[in-house]
Amino acid sequence: MKHIIIGTAGHIDHGKTTLIKALTGRNTDRWEEEQRRGITIDLGFTWFDLPGGDRAGIIDVPGHEKFINNMVAGVVGMDLVLLVVAADEGIMPQTREHMDILNLLGIEKSIIVLNKCDLVEEDWLELVEEEIKEELSGTFLEKAPVVRVSAATGEGLPYLVEVIQRMAEEEVEEKDTDTIPRLPVDRAFSLQGFGTIITGTLLSGTITREDTLEMYPIGRTSKIRSIQVHGEDVDKCFAGQRVAVNLSNIKKREIKRGCVLAPPDSMKNTDLLDVKMRILDSSMRVLTNHARLHLFTGTSEILCRAVLLDREEIGPGEDGYVQLRLEEEIAVKKGDKFVVRFYSPMETIGGGVILEPNPAVHRRFQQQVIEDLERKESGSTADVVEMHVRSHGETMITLAELSKLTALTADEVTRDVEELEKEGTVLVFPMRKDTYVWHRQAAARARERILGDLADYEKKYPYRYGMKKAQIHTALFPKIKPNVFDLYISRLEDEQAVRRVEEFLCTPDYQVRKDSLYQQVSGALLEAMEKAGFDFVRYGEIPVKGVSQEVEDDILNILLEEKQVVKVTEEMYTLSSYMEQAKEKIREKLKEEPVITIAQVRDMFHTSRKSAKPILEYMDTVKVTRKTGAESERVAY
Ligand SMILES: Nc1nc2c(ncn2[C@@H]2O[C@H](COP(=O)(O)OP(=O)(O)OP(=O)(O)O)[C@@H](O)[C@H]2O)c(=O)[nH]1
Ligand SMILES: [Mg+2]
């Protein structure tokens, strides 16, 4: 199941909300003022069931330039954008501004929805489409499909849905649900009887009910009371879902749009950011030192001043390193994208990427500072190492191979791998000759498969202890070395994700089934063995009714595992207690005399020679006796 978020963008009145209503049947303009004025003011949320079966979250944004701040807050987490252009007007100012914002925030997968086709003639449509393609050529939207629709008449919508499905399937990437969660808040409200509820798009990771998370930047931890996704209660929510979370311990008035919910100590509040900033080609302004700007990142909007670190000024189409000095604290991560708008008049002038979320105060034109930022920008060697580890998910990769592939020294690779391990991106398995590295995502998939297979196996074979470790290895991970795999399994054991009984693996709470059938079969087996005494019965000759041979074998195995029964020879089994007695007696006997013979054993246990021989052979295997040379004689071990 892919979790995806579809967003709208486009100029005011071009039909974004109407389109969403036509697709989903739901009106996302919730406010009285929105309904009265016929415009969208704040973000609208709903969902859409794709024909492929996935349920996509929908974020509808306002087109009015006065509400661009709300629009920007809605963009974070969008996977696919419906850029709506009304055919009767074509590309308009906020179409362009939205395109710039999407581009700056790195949201690139879009469909150009040419709406209101019912209002214009075919010739006109051709013209508008041509004009759009011309304007988009050379931009990130150059390859975006253009789909003609009318949200009013429904014309073209089935095809639009097809295109959405195809892009969702082929182009939207799966998100990492395994990393630490981060949820920027876009709404906070309180609900009678529930308390504080926040909503947002979960950007990464998974949140589970009862998790304790921290609300940044206010620094309050809170237990997750309940979670809803698309109006339904769930125990967990995943990256790429629209979620509503009921929080304990925090009042609604303490939270605002822009706060972020994440694990305690996973981020550090800051009022300084080092960034790489680009000024839009189309900007009418030159960014000068100390200019006051509105910074938008995640769902937050904060005033700041820009200290230009490596240039006197940054003009249209240019970029530079900038330290942003914020008027309030926020919590962000390296690599987060942002947009800046001019303070007054408000217009989008540029944006970029956060290179250092917790810097020291810098003075301008410091060589060292600029070099450090260059290094941070170009991406660390650790990123490259991670890429290689990721592409070796099936086999794992050794440090030696990594160093070959990356042309880095062994020391550099080791250092990068240590860093990646510390941040939880890779798992490391030190072996005698080399160290194996596995990507967290591959390990997480492996874990899921193992647990899934174990659960299936346990259902299918309730009278077994679980699946043999070696069987899992060959079935699922034939390309991973067995001793490395063993180390991985013992980590799973340490984490109590699986339990091991001898060479069997099972899920942590699994118990062998001991129902009436078990009682009946094990009872029959034990009784037959008990009755036979030292005149052992052959297993195949014990009459057990009403079960398959497989189940009978499984139950015998349980008795063996639990040491109620021991195997004397290939075909003969007996009660452990009998063999314990036999051990004692034989040990005693060997204290009195140096040698014991099969004939003596036969007489001691009132049995036949046929059973006496295996008794001695058994005693050899448990190191009570050993052969002297003669087939029929034993001495003490
Ligand atoms: N004829 C025609 N009218 C449309 C179509 N789509 C939308 N409209 C009308 O256009 C007007 C604006 O539609 P909205 O859906 O509110 O536009 P919007 O893009 O959401 O506007 P904002 O959210 O305020 O930016 C409404 O009166 C719609 O009925 C269409 O395909 N054909
Ligand atoms: Mg609207």
Ligand 2 is an ion; residues with CB less than 5 A from it: 16-17, 40
Tokens 């311990």 -> residue: 249
More confident residue, 433 or 297: 297
Q: How far apart are CA 212 and CA 261, in angstroms?
A: 10
Q: Of ligand 1's atoms, which has the minimum distance to the CA of residue 61? A: 23
CATH assignment of the domain containing 303: 2.40.30.10
Residue located nearest, by CA, to atom 11 of ligand 1: 13
Question: Do 134 and 22 sit in the same domain of this protein?
Answer: yes
Q: How far is CA 287 from CA 90, 104, 276, 317, in A?
A: 30, 16, 13, 11
Position 270 scores a pLDDT of 94
Integer CA distances (angstroms), 460 to 448, 456, 474, 499, 514, in order: 18, 6, 19, 18, 15
| Protein residue with its CA nearest to atom 9 in ligand 1 | 15
Ligand 1 atom index nearest CA of 151: 31
Using the mean position of ligand 1's atoms as its centre, give its distance from the Cα of residue 17 in Å: 7
In a domain, 44, yes or no: yes
Ligand 2 centroid from CA 84, angstroms: 10
Contact 181, 204 (CB under 8 A): yes
Which of 167, 261, 254, 166 minimizes the C-alpha distance to 213?
261
| CA of residue 40 to ligand 2 center, whole Å | 4
Name which of 435, 449, 434 is nearest 426 in CA terms: 435
In a domain, 381, yes or no: no
Domain containing 140 — which CATH number? 3.40.50.300
What is the reported pLDDT for 193? 87
Rounded to the nearest angstrom, the distance between the alpha carbon of 57 and the centre of ligand 1 is 21
For residue range 522-581, list pLDDT tens digits in order. 999 999 999 999 999 999 889 888 889 999 999 999 999 889 999 988 889 999 999 999
**Interatomic CA distance for residues 468 and 489, integer angstroms:** 12
Ligand lying nearest the CA atom of residue 62: 1
**pLDDT tens digits, 372-384:** 888 778 877 788 7
The Cα angle at residue 489 between residues 487 and 492, in degrees rounded to 5: 115
Computed on alpha carbons and rounded to an integer, the radius of gyration of the chain in Å comes to 35
Mean pLDDT of 383-403: 88
Indicate whether 132 belongs to any domain: yes
Q: What is the model's pLDDT at position 630? A: 82
Mutate to test the pocket of ligand 1, among 18, 46, 95, 97 (most ligand atoms within 8 A of CB): 18
CB 115 within 8 A of CB 84: yes
> Would you place residue 584 in the very low, low, confident or very high pLDDT band (cuts 50, 70, 90)?
very high
Give the pLDDT band (50/70/90) at residue 455.
very high
Ligand 1: nearest atom to the Cα of 18: 15
The alpha carbon of 103 and the centre of ligand 2 are apart by a number of angstroms equal to 21
Asked whether residue 191 falls in the same domain as residue 157, the answer is no
Q: What is the pLDDT of residue 202?
A: 97
pLDDT of 405 > 80? The answer is no
- Nearest CA, atom 8, ligand 1: 15
Q: How far is the CA of 93 from the centre of ligand 1 (A)?
A: 17
| Alpha-carbon gap, residue 130 to 127, rounded angstroms | 5
Dist. CA 99 → ligand 2 center (Å): 17
Q: What is the pLDDT of residues 93-120, one digit of tens each?
A: 999 999 999 999 999 999 999 999 999 9
- Give me the pLDDT at residue 382, please: 87
Does 70 share its domain with 189? no
> Residue 556: which domain range?
516-636
Q: Tell me, what's the pLDDT at 628?
A: 82
Q: Which ligand is nearest to the CA of 9?
A: 1
So what's the pLDDT on residue 381? Answer: 79
Mean pLDDT of 311-336: 95
Nearest to 432 by CA among 385, 502, 481: 481
Residue 84 CA, closest ligand 1 atom number: 19
Domain co-membership, 121 together with 9: yes
Q: How far apart are CA 222 and CA 79, in angstroms?
A: 29
Q: Is the pLDDT of residue 265 over 90?
A: no
Residue nearest atom 12 in ligand 1 by C-alpha distance: 13
Q: Is residue 502 part of a domain?
A: no
Q: Which residue from 8, 17, 153 has its CB within 8 A of the most atoms of ligand 1, so it is best to mutate? A: 17
Ligand nearest to the CA of 115: 1
Q: Are residues 36 and 140 in the same domain?
A: yes
Nearest CA to ligand 1 atom 6: 15
Q: How far is the CA of 316 from the centre of ligand 2 (A)?
A: 31
In a domain, 27, yes or no: yes
Nearest CA to ligand 1 atom 24: 39
- Same domain assignment for residues 124 and 57: yes
pLDDT of residue 220: 94
Ligand 1, pocket-test mutation among 11, 12, 13, 60, most atoms within 8 A of CB: 13
pLDDT value, residue 567: 92
Task: Supply the angle between the helices 440-460 and 469-476 in degrees, to the nearest 10.
Answer: 120
User: Which of 34-38, 241-245, 403-407 has the highest average model confidence (pLDDT)?
Assistant: 241-245
Three-class DSSP labels, 278-319? EECCCCCCCEECCEEEEEEECCEEEEEEEEECCCCEECCCCE
User: Which atom of ligand 1 lies closest to the CA of 22?
Assistant: 6
Please state the rounded mean pLDDT for residues 143-166: 97
**Do 235 and 284 fall into the same domain?**
no
Closest among 386, 409, 280, 263 to 342, alpha carbons compared? 280
Q: What letter would DSSP give residue 461?
A: -
Task: Say if residue 241 is in the same domain as residue 350.
Answer: no
Residues within a 6 A CB radius of ligand 1: 10, 12-18, 38-40, 62-64, 84, 115-116, 118-119, 150-152
Choose one of 262, 290, 316: the last residue of a domain: 262
Ligand 1 nearest atom to the CA of residue 20, by list position? 15
- Residue 338 CA to ligand 1 center (angstroms) comes to 29
Distance from the alpha carbon of residue 74 to the mean position of ligand 2, in angstroms: 13
Rounded to the nearest angstrom, the distance between the alpha carbon of 16 and the centre of ligand 2 is 5
Residues 192 and 161 in one domain: no
Tell me the pLDDT tens digit for each residue of 185-228.
Answer: 999 999 888 889 999 999 999 999 999 999 999 999 999 999 99
Number of domains in the chain: 4
Predicted pLDDT of residue 321 = 98
The closest-lying atom of ligand 1 relative to the alpha carbon of residue 94 is 25
Q: Whose CA is nearest to atom 32 of ligand 1?
A: 116
pLDDT at position 228 is 96
- Amino acid 332: pLDDT: 92
The reply to whether 228 and 83 lie within a common domain is: no
Q: Does residue 322 carry a pLDDT above 90?
A: yes
Cα–ligand 2 centroid distance for 82 (angstroms): 12
Residue 503: pLDDT band by 50, 70, 90 thresholds?
A: confident
Atom of ligand 1 lying closest to residue 12 CA: 25
Nearest atom in ligand 1 to 14's CA: 19
Evaluate whether residue 420 is within a structural domain: no
pLDDT band with cut points at 50, 70 and 90 for residue 407: low
Which pLDDT belongs to residue 545? 83
State whether 218 and 115 are in the same domain: no
- For the segment 437-458, the average pLDDT, to the nearest whole number, is 94
Residue 140 has pLDDT above 90, yes or no: yes
CA gap 572, 398 in Å, rounded = 48
Rounded to the nearest integer, the mean pLDDT of the chain is 93
Q: Is residue 411 part of a domain?
A: no
| Domain final residue, candidates 170, 202, 233 | 170
**End residue of a domain, out of 373, 395, 428:** 373
Torsion (CA) 346, 350, 354, 355 in degrees, nearest 10: -140
- Atom index in ligand 1 nearest the CA of residue 153 equals 31
Regarding whether 285 and 249 lie in a shared domain, the answer is no
| Ligand number, closest to the Cα atom of 15 | 1
* 496 CA distance to ligand 1 middle (Å): 55
Confidence at residue 436, expressed as pLDDT on a 0 to 100 scale: 97
Local confidence band at 40 (pLDDT 50, 70, 90 cut-offs): very high
Cα 61 to ligand 2 centre (Å):
6
Lookup result for tokens 């024909």 = 51
